[in-house]
Structure 1
Amino acid sequence: MNETAAWDTYSKQKPERRPVNAAGETTWFNWTQYPDHGPGAEVLSVPPGANVLDLGCGKGGNLAHVATLGARPVGVDMSMAQIKAAEACWPDVKLELHQAEATRFLAEGEEQFDAVFSVFGAAWFTDPAALLPAVRRRLRPGGVFAFSQRPPVEGCYGCQASYITRSEDEDPLVVKRWDYEPDRWAGLLEGHGFTAVTARVIPAPPGPRKIGTLLVRAQG
């Protein structure tokens, strides 16, 4: 299965981004699947002038907000459709965008980053045995690596199938994702040399939905 084609298909299914958030801001950072909920870019501790990498940047909303903080925003995504959408969404923001698979991009360069993040992105859909050492190699000492994703279904851990729907006449596309409980993520990161690891589930906002958001943060 061509994963690039799968993510191109996914790109077409995402709803249009809101022009402003609840606070009236045109850029914002959101770790969760719920609007105006949870922490923001402060998780990354990004100083002005920092190099910041988004793994699985999608249409670039979080990365555009990083740019407003004075950082240099670098985004990687497997889908050219996503890259083109990000360019169209943010014509006045200088985003450095690359079409590449995350571990390949990390392996092919030497530049160090002050922060690396992934919001429901490549950190969820890449084997941590390959991704974690690659991230740590490119993270400056003391730099922050943080990612968010849905918590695992109880009893369903490790490599799982994730389905991207198509038309009613076509079978869904299947990509792999990696699901672990917070303590297990913390152990994996510590095993690859990360420090100050925290892993927690942010509860869903009040309402009918009950699924929270897993947020993991560590330092290189």
Structure 2
Amino acid sequence: MPRAPQTPAEYWDTYKPHRGEGPQPRPDTGRFEWTQYPGHGPGAELLGSPRRALDLGSAEGKEAAHLAERGVRVTGVDLSAVQVARARAWWHGMANLDFVHSEVCTYLTHTEETFDAIYSVWGAVWFTDPEQLLPLIAARLAPGGVLAFSQAEPSPGAYGPQAMRGKWLEGRERELTVPRWQYPPESWADHLKRAGFARVDARVLAAPSGERLGTLLVVAHC
């Protein structure tokens, strides 16, 4: 039986694993998606017109590649060495695009770069303590810069750090549990304002017809 993951990095190493024979096709980059429902909701326009962008929890790199194809200089940061290696293989040779293997708070603490846009699509903002992360993001945004992120809408009353279990880790000895931070929109707005953001639009985008789970969508400006 395969050894169960022991760290959050190993948890994400097993997420969306390679399946089937032969090379795994890279994702389509035709649209920037904030939700889990293709074609639903806004696209990259939420980021404005950035020249330099940072993707926190970039995983397979689909959103980063979408922006890079349109001339934005993008860095994707991910905790998982496997995810970074997959993204580098898929987007090898694409101009304007780099992927970095790092924990996001560590990266933000040590980088000297500033960004016009920082974003996270069901990514690291969901899985990092906002009291630690949001001030670091604010410090690396250029004046007038934007932070945008999305994640699943919170379950009523299940606020703060919540356990997420890897039930999809088939054949593992045990489930690994990682924390994810869930708040209603008004609480995210409070977190962001305390971190130095002046304008915040936080809301839940309803799911399309026939689906139940909506998407928390937040856009904040320095």
Q: CA deviation at 1:172?
A: 1.3
Query: What do residues 142-198 of structure 1 show as CA deviations (whole Å, max 9, x unaligned)?
Result: 100010000111111001001123224521111111000000001110111101100
Per the alignment, residue 117 of structure 2 pairs with: 115
Once residues 19 and 217 of structure 2 are traced to their aligned partners in structure 1, the CA distance between those partners, rounded to angstroms, is: 22
The answer to whether 1:52 aligns with 2:53 is: yes
* Percent of residue pairs bearing the same amino acid type: 47
Residue type at the aligned position of 1:3: P
Once residues 185 and 80 of structure 1 are traced to their aligned partners in structure 2, the CA distance between those partners, rounded to angstroms, is: 29
The answer to whether 1:2 aligns with 2:4 is: no
User: Structure 1 pair 93/18, CA: closer, same or farther in 2 (3 Å)?
Assistant: closer
| Aligned residue runs from structure 1 range 136-147, under 5 A | 136-147=138-149
User: Which of the residues 74, 99, 102 maps onto 1:100?
Assistant: 102
Once residues 158 and 171 of structure 2 are traced to their aligned partners in structure 1, the CA distance between those partners, rounded to angstroms, is: 27
Per the alignment, residue 23 of structure 1 pairs with: none
User: Structure 1 pair 13/155, CA: closer, same or farther in 2 (3 Å)?
Assistant: farther
Once residues 172 and 146 of structure 2 are traced to their aligned partners in structure 1, the CA distance between those partners, rounded to angstroms, is: 44
| Aligned residue runs from structure 1 range 125-164, under 5 A | 125-164=127-166
Per the alignment, residue 186 of structure 2 pairs with: 183
Q: CA deviation at 1:19?
A: 5.5
What is the count of residue pairs matched by the alignment?
212
Q: CA deviation at 1:36?
A: 1.5
Q: CA deviation at 1:76?
A: 0.1
TM-score, with length taken from structure 2: 0.90
Per the alignment, residue 177 of structure 2 pairs with: 174
Q: CA deviation at 1:18?
A: 7.4
Range that drifts further, 5-14 or 66-75: 5-14
The answer to whether 1:43 aligns with 2:29 is: no
Once residues 14 and 195 of structure 1 are traced to their aligned partners in structure 2, the CA distance between those partners, rounded to angstroms, is: 44
Is contact 2:55–2:120 with CA below 8 Å preserved after alignment? yes
Q: CA deviation at 1:91?
A: 2.5
Q: CA deviation at 1:93?
A: 1.6
Residue type at the aligned position of 2:86: A
Per the alignment, residue 87 of structure 2 pairs with: 86
Is contact 1:28–1:61 with CA below 8 Å preserved after alignment? no
Is contact 1:117–1:146 with CA below 8 Å preserved after alignment? yes
SS in 2 for 1:10: coil
Per the alignment, residue 214 of structure 1 pairs with: 216
SS in 1 for 2:15: helix
Q: CA RMSD in A?
A: 1.8
SS in 1 for 2:17: helix
TM-score, with length taken from structure 1: 0.91
Per the alignment, residue 17 of structure 2 pairs with: 12
Residue type at the aligned position of 2:11: A
SS in 1 for 2:10: helix
Per the alignment, residue 3 of structure 2 pairs with: none
Structure 2: state its 5+ residue gaps. 1-5
Query: What do residues 10-49 of structure 1 show as CA deviations (whole Å, max 9, x unaligned)?
Result: 14179977765xxxxx4320000111111100000024xx
Runs of 4 or more off by more than 4 Å in structure 1?
Answer: 13-20
Is contact 2:159–2:183 with CA below 8 Å preserved after alignment? yes
Range that drifts further, 38-47 or 57-66: 38-47
Per the alignment, residue 31 of structure 1 pairs with: 34
Is contact 1:11–1:81 with CA below 8 Å preserved after alignment? no
Q: CA deviation at 1:133?
A: 0.4
